[in-house]
Chains A and B, each alone.
Chain A
């Protein structure tokens, strides 16, 4: 049994939220550069050029990438051989509190659907917990913006809708969202489970490595086909038209009821900010 130092949890969460809001992953920047070379329309190139220049400026550490520094989402895997002597959720929230203050990040959480009073420290984080085997705690941490989240959706399809139904739903959702979710986007799709499980699958799919390959052949093919078909929609960078509407499509799936085909589509803007820490 290994005892987890809760102050280490706070420190790592704090550092992670600051880091991700100033520095985009190199693999993502490589996709921006590839998209810039691939675009032919002057306006689409100009928008991508802004996006590339922006991450260069933010990297210096004075000003975050985007004014919407998001809601903090944590996927936590707790090893069965760790002992947590205290409230780990509060330790995570303390990390958020400190990180959003010290990192000069915007506090975007309000406490109530209708009062809408700001909590002033960007807490609470949205934390999902899973128990796994092992003696570590792994946390995938993301800052998720509101603009792209608002364009996301869950739909309960039926088995007869099949792959074509899923494709139509995804393409319609992305076309109708247009420039609002800040394309070029990353598309996280959760298929199966039930209502809430599909949404979790979609969110977690957004946190996959951009260049990983799905183990399932049918899903891998669907990811590739959707990637091409989404980019044929012509929405383009910030909706001004062009060849680059999405940078990646990631699909996670789970077994489901014989009557159901739940599909969740979670849209991530081009400023995909997430990392992983191990304690």
Chain B
């Protein structure tokens, strides 16, 4: 098991190998389909993309006193093409579920980024590891808005590493 603190460094990326459990602490950002489409033309991104972590999620509304509602990953393949410009800007980790295209995997290796999966459907468990949540961009998108999350020991598994390994083919 590897513990990572954000922002993610080049050394962190090198240490990640397929199938390993990773616990992330620090700040991560949420974005899924619509937010990715908007980010393509965005001139004022409200977070530092360099060394960042993006989690593909559209949470349920939260009850008072709870930082965020259910927060399990959504399928990553829909963000394959949209993730490339973000990786070119320094996005280091993406958290989602399921396999992705070969084109994405090659772009990811080229940009020295890593794809992690969190357990799909484990929305309540993952929510319990999120300590705070704040919408920072695209509030009108509701569940699809970009949120800044503070996380503690957020559990993931390395799905694609920079050495060309693939968790779904092991």
A residues at B contact (CB < 8 Å): 43, 46-47, 50-51, 53-55, 57-58, 62-69, 104-107, 118, 147, 150, 178-180, 182, 238-241, 269-271
Interface pair B168/A239, CB less than 8 Å apart = yes
Secondary structure class of chain A's binding surface, majority of residues: loop
- State A179–B128 Cα separation when bound (angstroms): 23
Which residue of the partner chain, among B75, B99, B121, B167, contacts A66 with CB atoms under 8 Å? Answer: B121
- Contact A43/B57 with A54-B125, A238-B117 known, Cβ cut-off 8 Å: no
User: Which residues of chain B are near A180, meaning CB under 8 Å?
Assistant: 75, 77, 97-99
Let me know if B98 and A118 touch, CB within 8 A.
no
Evaluate contact between A65 and B124: CB separation under 8 angstroms. yes
Q: Pull 6 A–B residue pairs with CB atoms less than 8 Å apart, ordered by A.
A: A54-B123, A62-B66, A66-B70, A106-B70, A180-B97, A270-B121
Is B60 an interface residue when CB atoms closer than 8 A count as contact? yes
Q: Contact between B61 and A106 (Cβ–Cβ < 8 Å)? A: yes
Q: Which B residues are CB-close (under 8 A) to A147? A: 74-75, 97-98, 120
A240–B124 CB distance below 8 A: no
Q: Are the CB atoms of A63 and B168 closer together than 8 Å?
A: no
Cα-based distance from A105 to B59 in the complex (angstroms): 9
Q: Which of A46, A47, A54, A63 contacts B60 (CB 8 A)?
A: A63
- Which single residue of chain B is at the shortest CB-CB distance from A101? B61
- Seen from chain B, the residues whose Cβ lies within 8 Å of a Cβ on chain A are 19, 21, 57-63, 66, 69-72, 74-75, 77, 97-99, 117, 119-125, 127-128, 142-143, 155, 157, 167-168, 170
A57 touches B167 (CB 8 A): no
Q: How far is the CA of A63 from the CA of B21 in the complex (A)?
A: 24
A21 nearest CB across to chain B (Å): 9
Q: Which residues of chain A are near B19, meaning CB under 8 Å?
A: 43, 240
B34 vs chain A, min Cβ distance (A):
8
Q: Is the CB of B170 within 8 A of A239?
A: no
Residues of B within 8 A of A57 (CB): 124-125, 127-128
Nearest CB on A from B148, distance (A): 17
B99 in contact with A54 (CB, 8 Å): no
Cβ–Cβ contact B60 & A69, under 8 A: yes
The complex places the Cα of A69 from the Cα of B155 at a distance, in Å, of: 22
Q: Which of B63, B77, B121 contacts A65 (CB 8 A)?
A: B121
Nearest CB on B from A180, distance (A):
4
Q: Which residues of A contact B71 (CB under 8 A)?
A: 67
A150 to B168, CA, bound (A): 19
Give, as a whole number of angstroms, the nearest-CB distance from A196 to chain B.
Answer: 26
- Which of these, A104, A241, A271, contacts B62 with CB under 8 Å? A104
Closest to B99 in A: A178
Closest to B71 in A: A67
Tell me the minimal C-beta distance from A158 to chain B in angstroms: 32
Closest B-chain residue to A271, C-beta based?
B121
- Shortest C-beta distance, B86 to chain A (Å), equals 22
Chain B residues with CB under 8 A of A270: 121
- Measured CB to CB, the closest approach of chain A to B10, in angstroms, equals 26
Known interface pairs A182-B97, A240-B117; 10 further A-B residue pairs with C-beta atoms within 8 A, sorted by A's residue number: A65-B121, A65-B124, A66-B124, A67-B58, A68-B58, A104-B60, A179-B98, A182-B121, A240-B167, A240-B168
